Homo-oligomer: A and B are copies of this chain.
Amino acid sequence: MIAGNYWFSAEGHAAPPRPRRIQTVQEQEAVSVFSSLLDAYEARCVLHVSQVGPYAEGAAFAGGQYMPADQAMVPLFDLGFLRSDLTYDVPAVWDGRFFRLDDHLARLERSCAKLRLKPPMSTPQIREMLIELVRRTGLRDAYVDVIVTRGRAAKGQRDARLAESAIYAFVVPYIWILPLEVHEVGGSAVVTRDVRRTPPGAMDPTIKNLQWGDLTRGFFEAFDRNASLPLLPDGDGNITEGCYNIFTVHGGVLRTPARGVLEGVTRLTAMEIARAEGWEVRMEDVPVGSLYDADEIFLSSTAGGIMPITTLDGEPVGGGQVGPVTRRIWERYWTLHTDPRLSFAVDYD
C-alpha cells in the first residue's frame, strides 16, 4: 500500500494520488519517519493475514471464558445492555507491545469507582486476561476493549445495587477511526449544528461510556455534510470532543478542552510530547470560534492515534495541509510506542 513518495498510495481509495509538496529537510524527515512506521505496520498486517486458527480474527472473554471473538455474547438481561450501565477502556497493542496499559487500567478503576461498580476481577487479573487475549490472537497490532457492566439484575428486581457486575473483553485487528491513508492529507470534520455533547451534569464524560447517542447523531450529521468526523459543542459556546479529544494549534500554543471530555491517554501523551518540544499546552475552555482561525487542528484517541483535521465545515484549516506541529506529534506518538518506559512486549511464546 505504501509506495514511492507517498505516505500511502491512494490505490483502492477515492482520492487520486497527489503530487507531494516537499519543501524542507524537516518535512522530508517527517515523511520518512511516517513512511517507515507505516511500512512496518502494513508489513505486520500482511504477515498476520496469513495466520489461521480460531483466534486469527480476534479473541474475546465473556462469561469467564476465552473464545473466538465472533462467538462472544452478552446476556440480554445484563444491565450493560438493558441500561448501558457500564464503563469500558480501550488500550492498544502496537508492534507487539502494550502501550500505557496501566494508565488505561487505572482509568478503568476510576470509572468503576465513580459508577459504584465492583468489577468481578481485580486489576492484575484483568491485565493478565487482556495479555492472554492478545497472545491468543497473535496480533502484533491490536484494538483491545475491556467492558465492565452492572451485570444481571436480580430476578424481578430493578435495583442496580442488587446486580452482580460482569466483565467482557475483546481483541481484534486495529480499527482506525480515520483511514490510515487519510492521515497523510488530513481528515474532514464539522462542528455539529444538530447535536451538542451530553453535559457532565447528566453523564460524566471522564467515565468512559458507551452512551453514544449524541456521538452517533454527530456522525450522521458529519456524513450528511460530506465530512468524516463530528466535533460536538457543549451548548455554551465551547467545543468538547467526538469519540476522541480535540487540540487546536495557534502559533506555538496548543489548546485542548479542560472539562466535559474524557481524560484521554492519547491526549495526555500528546500533551507530554508537545511540552517536551517546548510548545505551550493549555487545558482550558476552547471556544468553538477558535477552531476557525486555528493554524492546525488534530484529534487524539487510542483507536486513531493523532488525527490531523485539515478541513473544517468544508473550508481548509490553516493552509489546508497537515501542519508541522501535528506532524511532529504524530511521529513522536508512534515512536514512543516502543519506549520501554511506556510500553512492554507481549510474550507471544
CA distance A219 to B83 in the complex (A): 13
Q: Which residues of B contact A177 (CB under 8 A)?
A: 158
A-B pairs with beta carbons under 8 Å apart, 24 shown: A57-B155, A60-B76, A72-B75, A73-B73, A74-B75, A74-B81, A76-B168, A81-B210, A83-B212, A83-B216, A84-B84, A84-B212, A84-B213, A85-B213, A159-B219, A195-B201, A196-B199, A196-B201, A198-B203, A199-B199, A199-B202, A199-B235, A202-B214, A203-B214
3 tightest A-B CB contacts, nearest first: A73-B73, A211-B211, A72-B76
A311 CB to nearest chain B CB (Å): 19
How far apart sit A15 and B151, CA to CA, in the bound complex (Å)?
30
- 1/0 contact trace for A71-90 toward B, CB 8 Å? 01111110011111100000
> Is residue A348 within 8 Å, beta carbon to beta carbon, of the partner chain?
no
**A198: contacting residue among B82, B116, B202, CB under 8 A:** B202
Min C-beta distance of A101 to chain B, whole Å = 21
Number of copies: 2
Bound together, the chains give a CA A197 to CA B199 distance in angstroms of: 9
| Residues of the B chain whose Cβ atoms lie less than 8 Å from the Cβ of A217 | 203
Q: How far is the CB of A63 from chain B (nearest CB, A)?
A: 10
The CA of A60 and the CA of B214, in the complex, are separated in Å by 29
Instruction: Tell me whether A211 and B84 are in contact (CB under 8 A).
Output: yes
Residues of chain B with a CB closer than 8 A to A195's CB? 201-202
Q: Which residues of B contact A19 (CB under 8 A)?
A: none
A275 interface residue per 8 A CB criterion = no
A161: interface (CB < 8 Å): yes
State the majority secondary structure of interface residues on A.
loop
Whether the pair A74, B72 counts as a contact (CB closer than 8 A) is no
Q: How far is the CB of A45 from chain B (nearest CB, A)?
A: 11
Q: Which residues of B contact A116 (CB under 8 A)?
A: 220
Instruction: Find A223's partner among B77, B161, B209 (CB 8 Å cutoff).
Output: B161
Q: Is the CB of B216 within 8 A of A160?
A: yes
User: Which of B161, B201, B223 lies in contact with A235, CB distance below 8 A?
Assistant: B201
In the complex, chain B residues whose CB is within 8 Å of the CB of A157 = 175
Which of B73, B175, B198 touches A74 (beta carbons < 8 Å)? B73
A4 proximal to B (CB < 8 A): no
A156 at the interface (CB under 8 A from B): yes
Contacts of A196 in B (CB 8 A): 199, 201-202
A173 interfacial contact with B, CB 8 Å = yes
State whether the Cβ of A62 lies closer than 8 Å to any Cβ in chain B.
yes
**In the complex, A220→B116 CA distance in Å?**
9
Please pick, from B160, B168, B175, the residue contacting A219 in the complex, using a CB distance under 8 A. Answer: B160
What is the minimal beta-carbon distance from A218 to any residue of chain B, in angstroms? 10
A170 contacts B by Cβ under 8 Å: yes
Chain B's closest residue to A212 (CB) is: B83
Report the minimal beta-carbon distance from A210 to chain B, rounded to whole angstroms.
5
Most B C-beta atoms less than 10 A away, residue of A85, A201, A210, A223:
A201
B62 touches A170 (CB 8 A): no
Decide yes or no: A175 and B198 within 8 Å by CB, A168-B76, A210-B84 being known contacts.
no
CA distance A177 to B217 in the complex (A): 30
Asked if B202 and A175 make an inter-chain contact with CB atoms under 8 angstroms apart, the answer reads no
B210 touches A202 (CB 8 A): no
Q: Indicate whether A80 sits within 8 Å of B77 (C-beta atoms), given known contacts A175-B158, A202-B213, A213-B202.
A: no
